[in-house]
A and B are shown apart, each in its own frame.
Chain A
Amino acid sequence: MEDLIKIPILSFYDLAGVATPMMLGILALAGLVLDSWIGKKKPSWIGGFSLAGMILILAFQLLLHIGRANLSGDLGAGFGGLIFFDLFGIYFNYLFLAAAILVTAMSISHLEGKDYNRGEYYLLILIATAGMSLMAGARDLIMVFIGLETMSIPIYALAASDQSNPKSNEAGLKYLLLGGFASAILLYGIALLYGAAGATDFLTLSNELARLKMPDLRFFFMIVGIALVVIGFGFKVAAVPFHMWVPDVYEGAPTPITAYMAAGVKAAGFAVLIRAFLYAFAGEWLQTYQIIWILAALTMTVGNLLALVQNNLKRMLAYSSIAHAGYLLVGMTTLVSSNTTQEAFSPTYAMMYYLLVYSFMNLGAFAVIVVLGRERRGGEMIADYSDLSRKRPFLAVLMAVFMFSLAGVPPLGGFFGKFYLFLGAVHSRLYWLVLIAVLNSVIAAFYYLRVVYVMYMQKEREEVIQPGIETGVLINTVLILSAAMVVLLGLVPNQFLDIIFMTFRKFV
């Protein structure tokens, strides 16, 4: 009972760890008040408000970053040991905020004149971002679960937000049922790990788990627990065989939300997996690496093969997102199979870089779909893109950049992302896995380049452009920013990697 009475006083560092999610939450509450005021008449003002707020929070990350970089010692744990205040978390906060800003800007354009243009939509994006930020900083399985649900529940609602469209309803429902199922599996896994180790924070877990031996019942709890946690996150990051929901949800959800799922949810899932395998399951690396090897190979192959036969661009990008989860799992395999913490860092850098590039190229590709969706009916079928190079040359060039980058053509960001991931795997002697990954990249090039072929080579039968709709300034900014990031990340990968390395100098 002694421990109960000793309530620690919150220090500045404790609060710094949760500053970002807290500010996002306050912004969402303030937006709710504003929404009851002007939301009925001018819902896009709420979008503008949340956009401005998030840009300020992004600028505040810079302060946190400088502040953290100047700290020394083990001030990593804050908020009663629930959260890490470290540069790894801040790096992912940059990523989530950038993605959320681009998605909000895209949404303001996308929702214009639609019947589900409501203030809550933008506020749910804020809350989901707060959840992602908590996940990336989590130092305790409790925080992992709370962050995961804070992220997922608003996204279930967002996927179903186009209430009059049965496809969107269906997407929301499928995401909710399979996401809830995955969360329940994850929670049971966490409960078993708690039983095995007697604690839920990562550092105690790794110490306790390393001590367990074969005949002990708690060893059995640990193995089943880790397996269930991996399955739970397999659902979230869309790894095969837990991918069934991905194509339907991506196709049915409003396009900006699909972009957010591809960029944000996946990055958050991998941030937790990286942390969990670097800290919590530290002693058990070698036993799980074959499982992740198989997951990676399956995920890449199934994702790419099914993407080949799709005619709907959103559905194709959904399968491509499964395939990219597979490439990232190659990095995960490298991380898990490495013997020392130092060795595990290099695949971690590669995955962080890849997640950044992947977010921008996906956001850009989905922004192109949003533009076409505004100007023509649809914009979702690949056939809608025929002859785009003549009608909208600039848009076609941008789309080509995103497609080339997704396919991994040098000198764009996507190429270096894959290069670093596969190089790490070669260093760890995972030759067969790298062979499968490279073959998959070849298959993938086919369906990405098909979009470029349709845009540049195919003549359109009839004009279906709806007159009188201008491309908004916001959506153009989103397109240009994403393309600039994809090109910059490819031209000067070293500078970005240096930033990531600096992030890591004080990671431990």
Chain B
Amino acid sequence: MRIGPEYYLVLSAVLFGIGMTGVLVRRNVLVILMSIELMLNAANLSLVTFSRFSGDLSGQVFALLVMVIAACEVAVGLAIIISLFRNKDTVDVDRINIMKW
């Protein structure tokens, strides 16, 4: 059986949906950050799929760049979460509410 692009694209859309639901529904900051990563990787999968099936390499290169950027974002994100945890002793977004959310 030949696996066409649609399988990958549907998988990517599903991953994106799971990530988006995670951001909107979960209350733990770390899980939200992971869900954002899932959304970025869903987009990466789309980029690689389109690139593979159209024979144009720029999508693959873009996916590599996105991985680097995602790593930077996580590094800064974890640093901010640690500095928040030192002050407030919580990673629950519902309790991070000095200003209204």
A interface list, Cβ under 8 A from B: 4, 142, 145-146, 149, 153, 156-157, 160, 163-167, 169-174, 176-177, 180-181, 183-185, 187-188, 190-192, 194-195, 198-200, 244, 247-248, 251-252
Contacts and interface: CB of A to CB of B under 8 A. Distances in A.
Given A177-B29, A188-B46, A169 B76 contact: no
Contacts of B56: 198-199
A433 to B, nearest CB: 30
- Which of A145, A146, A166, A180 counts the most chain B CB atoms within 10 A? A180
Contacts of B65: 142, 145-146
Contacts of B93: 177
Contacts of B83: 160, 163, 169, 172
B76 A157 contact: yes
Given A142-B58, A172-B80, A166 B40 contact: no
Nearest to B36: A180
Nearest to B72: A153
A173 B81 contact: yes
A89 B101 CA distance: 36
B33 interface: yes
Contact of B87 (A157, A169, A181, A191): A169
Interface in B68-94: 69, 72-73, 76-77, 79-81, 83-84, 86-88, 93
Nearest to A252: B99
A181 B36 CA distance: 6
Given A172-B84, A174-B96, 11 more contacts: A149-B73, A156-B77, A157-B80, A167-B99, A170-B96, A172-B80, A177-B33, A181-B23, A187-B43, A191-B12, A199-B58
Given A167-B99, A188-B39, A198-B54, A157 B23 contact: no
**Most chain B CB neighbours (cut-off 10 Å) among A149, A153, A164, A169:** A169
B80 to A, nearest CB: 5
Contacts, number: 131
Contact of B72 (A149, A181, A190): A149
Interface string B30-62: 001100100110111011011100101111011
Contacts of B43: 184, 187-188, 190-191
Contact of B62 (A169, A177, A200): A200
Given A198-B56, A248-B101, A166 B72 contact: no
A180 B80 contact: no
Contact of A169 (B42, B50, B84): B84
A166 B36 contact: no
B84 A194 contact: no
A164 B86 CA distance: 9
Contacts of B69: 145-146, 149, 153
Contacts of A166: 84, 87-88, 98
A164 B99 contact: no
Contacts of A244: 101
A149 B36 CA distance: 14
Most A CB atoms within 10 A — which of B43, B51, B73, B84? B43
A195 B50 contact: yes
Contact of B99 (A146, A176, A247): A247
Contacts of A165: 87
A184 B20 CA distance: 9
Nearest to B88: A166
A458 to B, nearest CB: 26
B90 to A, nearest CB: 11
Contacts of A191: 12, 43-44, 46-47, 50, 59
18 contacts: A142-B62, A166-B98, A170-B84, A172-B83, A173-B96, A180-B36, A184-B39, A187-B40, A188-B39, A188-B46, A191-B47, A192-B46, A194-B50, A194-B58, A195-B49, A198-B54, A198-B56, A199-B56
